[in-house]
Amino acid sequence: MPTATPEFDAIVIGAGFSGIHMLKSLRDHLGLKVRVYEAGDTVGGTWYWNRYPGARCDSDAYIYCFTWDKQLLQEWEWTERYPEQPEILRYLEHVAARHDLKRDMVFKTRITGAEWDDKSHLWTVHTDKGDAVTARYVIAAVGTLSETNLPNIKGLENFKGQSCHTSRFPKEGIDFTGKRVAVVGTGATAVQAIPEIAQQAKQLTIFQRTANYCVPARNGKVDPELVRKRKADYDGIVQRIKDSFFGQEHYFIPKSALEVSAEERERDFDRMWDAGGFAFWLANYKDMFFTQEANDLCADYIKRKIRSTVKDPAIAEKLTPKGYAYGTKRQPLDTNYYETFNKENVLLVDAKADGPIEEITATGIRAGGKEYPQDIIVFATGFDAMTGPLKALHLKGRDGRTLDQVWAEGPRSYLGIAVAGFPNFFTITGPQSPSVLSNMPVSIEQHVDWISDCIDAMRKSEKTTIEAMPEAQDQWVAHVNEIVAATLMPGANSWYMSANIPGKPRAFLPYLGPEGVGGYRRKCEEVAAHNYEGFELA
Ligand code: NA7
């Protein structure tokens, strides 16, 4: 048995929701020596980096938080249904201070590589400050949407005005007042930012590649009586979201959209639309994700809403999604998004109707042969989702193999927690786990608890390595792909399908069901109960 003593029991990479909880769990519950490395200059992760106007969570705040600190669930008061980025960051800072976590965190430090040593059963982890530390375990808490996608558009470097990506928005903000501003992209981020920027800018031009199906967020103050009721029922809420499909208190209508009358369907659609948030997406008819005809009915409802909100029929037509099923791209939640296109100072340039972006020039953007002069360009162009942040760690597993190599044809993981050939390496909300198809904190907590229990069990049985077995991984990958193949998801050019990044192998990145996060949790628990079935422990 290897005798080398590592400097740390575990290195955790990232200090967002995942890294904060992982440190708390390993250090304070298991008594391990842990260090967290974080590229930002404080905690927060997603909520540190995404400072664009309008940035807020899309899940209701009462479940978009840690549930392991029961006292804090009672004490913390969110100001609105979906708090803005500064408030969520304040919450995470509060948690870090309350549990004295920062003393084991190193900020402004990026991991540049790590290699596994099969003799000592240790990882050596390298940072951009030139340090190298050894650890028994490496845990990626790097987030799923953290590797920025700045598209390689011709002439990008020539622009003389100010430009930025939404996930690298300057801390001091940008004053859009009186400026000609372009937003590139119309995903969930842009849908939050566009109405805010339109209020300041002299002229806002939106460059749309694919029209999205947006539903109203219906943000606002939450009724104090409802807040009180929820606080009194937190144990019940936590149990329900853990057992649910999406980590939310949303449940499919247990009927086909095709079996009910048109009147009943319209009433249900109105109810979900009026409720706002993810209800329309995640609490719709049970066949919405599976049957094109059922999906068409949901899509048609939203298309009618777009036409009734946007005054100019030509603009409404450009904003109407075409060619893919409703719900197969990430659902953006809107607050005055469609209304914004009624404003005099807002222009929509649609890649299909007006021509795609051809070049960034010194003074603006050229699309469809026409020049659109700009002072500021905001790229809301998304992320190299899920696999991107993990590949960027430049890990070398067994035999020096990298994730780039083993994922050359798409992600391969066991349960979305581990990768064959990378012993003692865990991925919180990794590819092929529910992660981005769930309310993130719920899935984060499940993985953190599972990883902690696993490390605890290994210590108790004096094992020093755990590694996913290739056969178990093959079966999991096949299972993930088989499940999604029965849905409408593969038909969309979404980032779920890896389709947003040129050259990225087309593969479904998360895991969808069949019983959602509840069923997935039970599967992970079974694996642990059967002595970590599918893993090799040595
Ligand atoms: P998304 O959802 O990936 O949206 C990015 C948008 O940028 C989307 O409209 C893209 O069009 C567009 N895009 C990407 N590359 C280009 C190029 N090269 N040219 C023109 N337009 C482009 O990212 P978000 O940040 O909005 O949301 C990410 C997640 O953050 C979100 O799902 C939440 O979980 C929080 P496309 O649709 O690909 O044609």
pLDDT digits (tens, 9 = 90+) for 143-166: 999 999 999 999 999 999 999 999
**Two tokens at 83?**
């708090």
Alpha-carbon torsion 172, 177, 179, 182, what sign?
positive
State the DSSP H helix or E strand holding residue 408, giving kind and residue range, or none if neither: none
| Per-residue pLDDT, 75 | 98
**Residue closest to 188 by CA, chosen among 56, 76, 65:** 56
Give nearest CA residue, ligand 1 atom 23: 382
Give nearest CA residue, ligand 1 atom 11: 209
The dihedrals phi and psi of 381, each to the nearest 5 degrees, come to -100, 10
Cis peptide leading into residue 514 (ω within 30°): yes
Pocket test of ligand 1: the residue of 189, 329, 383, 440 to mutate, having most ligand atoms within 8 Å of its CB, is 189
> Tens digit of pLDDT for each residue in 183-215?
999 999 999 999 999 999 999 999 999 999 999
Quote the ligand 1 centre to 330 CA distance (angstroms). 10
Q: How far is CA 266 from CA 288, 304, 499, in A?
A: 15, 12, 33
- Dihedral (Cα; 476, 408, 427, 14), 10-degree rounding: -160
Ligand 1 atom with least separation from CA of 185: 7
CB of 423 within 8 A of CB of 136? Answer: no
The mean per-residue pLDDT over the stretch 264-282 comes to: 98
The dihedrals phi and psi of 360, each to the nearest 5 degrees, come to -95, 130
**Two tokens at 69?**
């600190």
Which residues, in sequence order, are CB contacts of 399 under 8 Å at separation 6+? 421
The mean per-residue pLDDT over the stretch 403-431 comes to: 98
Ligand 1 atom with least separation from CA of 209: 39
Structure letter (DSSP) for residue 201: B
pTM: 0.98
**Two tokens at 55?**
């940035």
Ligand 1 atom with least separation from CA of 166: 25
**Residue closest to 393 by CA, chosen among 166, 147, 148:** 147
Quote the ligand 1 centre to 350 CA distance (angstroms). 14
Quote the ligand 1 centre to 185 CA distance (angstroms). 5
How far apart CA 25 and CA 27 sit, in angstroms, is 6
What 3-state DSSP class applies to 506? Answer: coil
| Per-residue pLDDT, 3 | 55
Q: Does the structure show a pLDDT above 80 at 351?
A: yes
Ligand 1 atom with least separation from CA of 189: 26
How far apart CA 64 and CA 248 sit, in angstroms, is 9
- Dihedral (Cα; 365, 367, 372, 378), 10-degree rounding: -40
Quote the ligand 1 centre to 531 CA distance (angstroms). 41
Q: Locate the DSSP E strands across 431-495.
A: 466-468
Give nearest CA residue, ligand 1 atom 20: 209
Ligand 1 atom with least separation from CA of 436: 34
Ligand 1 atom with least separation from CA of 330: 32
What does the DSSP assignment read for 486-503? TSSGGGS--TTTTTTSTT
State the DSSP H helix or E strand holding residue 380, giving kind and residue range, or none if neither: none
Quote the ligand 1 centre to 332 CA distance (angstroms). 11
With tokens 């539903």, the residue in question is: 215
How far apart CA 23 and CA 197 sit, in angstroms, is 37
Q: Does the structure show a pLDDT above 70 at 446?
A: yes
First and final C-alpha spacing in the chain: 9
What 3-state DSSP class applies to 220? Answer: coil
Strand order in the sheet with 346-350: 162-165, 376-379, 180-184, 203-208, 346-350
The mean per-residue pLDDT over the stretch 58-76 comes to: 98
Pocket test of ligand 1: the residue of 378, 500, 506 to mutate, having most ligand atoms within 8 Å of its CB, is 500
What is the distance, to the nearest Å, from the Cα of residue 402 to the centroid of all Cα atoms in its chain?
23
> Tens digit of pLDDT for each residue in 36-66?
999 999 999 999 999 999 999 999 999 999 9
CB of 350 within 8 A of CB of 208? Answer: yes
Ligand 1 atom with least separation from CA of 382: 23
Q: How far is CA 409 from CA 213, 340, 504, in A?
A: 30, 41, 8
How far apart CA 107 and CA 115 sit, in angstroms, is 21
Judged on CB neighbours under 10 Å (0-12, 13-18, 19+), 246 is buried
Q: Locate the DSSP E strands across 185-303.
A: 203-208, 215-216
Pocket test of ligand 1: the residue of 214, 318, 381 to mutate, having most ligand atoms within 8 Å of its CB, is 381
> Tens digit of pLDDT for each residue in 77-104?
999 999 999 999 999 999 999 999 999 9
Within 6 Å (CB) of ligand 1, which residues are found?
Answer: 145, 151, 153, 184-190, 209-210, 330, 357, 380-383, 495, 500
Quote the ligand 1 centre to 205 CA distance (angstroms). 16
| Per-residue pLDDT, 4 | 76
Q: Does the structure show a pLDDT above 70 at 506?
A: yes
Biggest distance spanned by C-alpha atoms of the chain: 73
Q: Does the structure show a pLDDT above 60 at 2?
A: no
Give nearest CA residue, ligand 1 atom 4: 187
- 513 confidence band (pLDDT: 50, 70, 90): confident
- Helix (H) and strand (E) counts for the chain? 17, 20
Quote the ligand 1 centre to 197 CA distance (angstroms). 17
Pocket test of ligand 1: the residue of 17, 192, 330 to mutate, having most ligand atoms within 8 Å of its CB, is 330
Q: How far is CA 485 from CA 479, 508, 513, in A?
A: 10, 9, 12
Quote the ligand 1 centre to 345 CA distance (angstroms). 23
Average pLDDT of the residues of the chain: 98
How far apart CA 533 and CA 283 sit, in angstroms, is 34
Ligand 1 atom with least separation from CA of 186: 9
How far apart CA 147 and CA 481 sit, in angstroms, is 24
Q: Does the structure show a pLDDT above 70 at 279?
A: yes
> Tens digit of pLDDT for each residue in 286-326?
999 999 999 999 999 999 999 999 999 999 999 999 999 99
Judged on CB neighbours under 10 Å (0-12, 13-18, 19+), 45 is buried
Give nearest CA residue, ligand 1 atom 33: 188
